[in-house]
A and B are shown apart, each in its own frame.
Chain A
Amino acid sequence: DADVTQTPRNRITKTGKRIMLECSQTKGHDRMYWYRQDPGLGLRLIYYSFDVKDINKGEISDGYSVSRQAQAKFSLSLESAIPNQTALYFCATSDAGQGNNEKLFFGSGTQLSVL
């Protein structure tokens, strides 16, 4: 049973389409994150949320938006997808807000291809 679940696992879409990637967690963590991974560049932070009413931009937020619908759900949207948004996207959670270090728990990822 996955603690951090991402859907879909794979998605192919066309330039200009709106795409939503979803993440849900059963770990009870307050903090949730969206990262993208590109070959040779490691993981880069897109957006993060420390609470339901808290949304923060990461280092590469342009072209993306997020919604924290509940403590357990954090979705990432690409309003108008472009080919250079082709990447592997990860959702992660953390319980750092509860006095712990920022150790992340990752979902299995969504491979997005924009044609």
Chain B
Amino acid sequence: SQQGEEDPQALSIQEGENATMNCSYKTSINNLQWYRQNSGRGLVHLILIRSNEREKHSGRLRVTLDTSKKSSSLLITASRAADTASYFCATELYGNKLVFGAGTILRVKS
């Protein structure tokens, strides 16, 4: 079974709205990362949050991590059509293994 599971599986919003994606995981982690994938392309790293951090920002991205609930959320503010992509959380387990979830498909309508 997946270490990381994203929710929702798919999300459709209007341009300008905020998009929130959630990730839950099962075991203790070293850090949690979010990646983006445009259709059929390779994944691109977006942001990393360490297990001792609770919130991190990068441009329009805001990531939170709650280790007590084993969950993370990715917020994209003021979304644009170009944000349309799949978003994956990946948990780095101790020993440097990175395990990916199944992803959230985000569609931003203009």
Contact = CB atoms under 8 A, between A and B. Distances in A.
B88 A111 contact: no
A40 B92 contact: no
Contacts of B31: 101-102
B40 A88 contact: yes
Contact of A103 (B33, B40, B41, B103): B33
A96 B43 contact: no
Interface string B34-54: 010000111111001010000
A104 B43 contact: yes
A12 to B, nearest CB: 16
Given A42-B102, A102-B92, A104-B98, A109 B48 contact: no
Contacts of B44: 106
Nearest to A56: B97
A43 B48 contact: no
Interface residues of B, number: 25
Given A42-B101, A102-B96, A102-B98, A109 B45 contact: no
A81 to B, nearest CB: 21
Contacts of A109: 40-42
B98 A111 contact: no
26 contacts: A41-B2, A42-B2, A42-B4, A42-B88, A42-B100, A42-B101, A42-B103, A43-B43, A44-B100, A45-B97, A90-B43, A92-B43, A101-B92, A102-B92, A102-B98, A103-B33, A104-B90, A104-B98, A105-B45, A106-B43, A106-B44, A107-B42, A108-B41, A108-B42, A109-B40, A111-B40
Considering the complex of A and B, which 4 residue pairs feature the smallest CB-CB distances, nearest first?
A106-B42, A42-B102, A43-B100, A42-B100
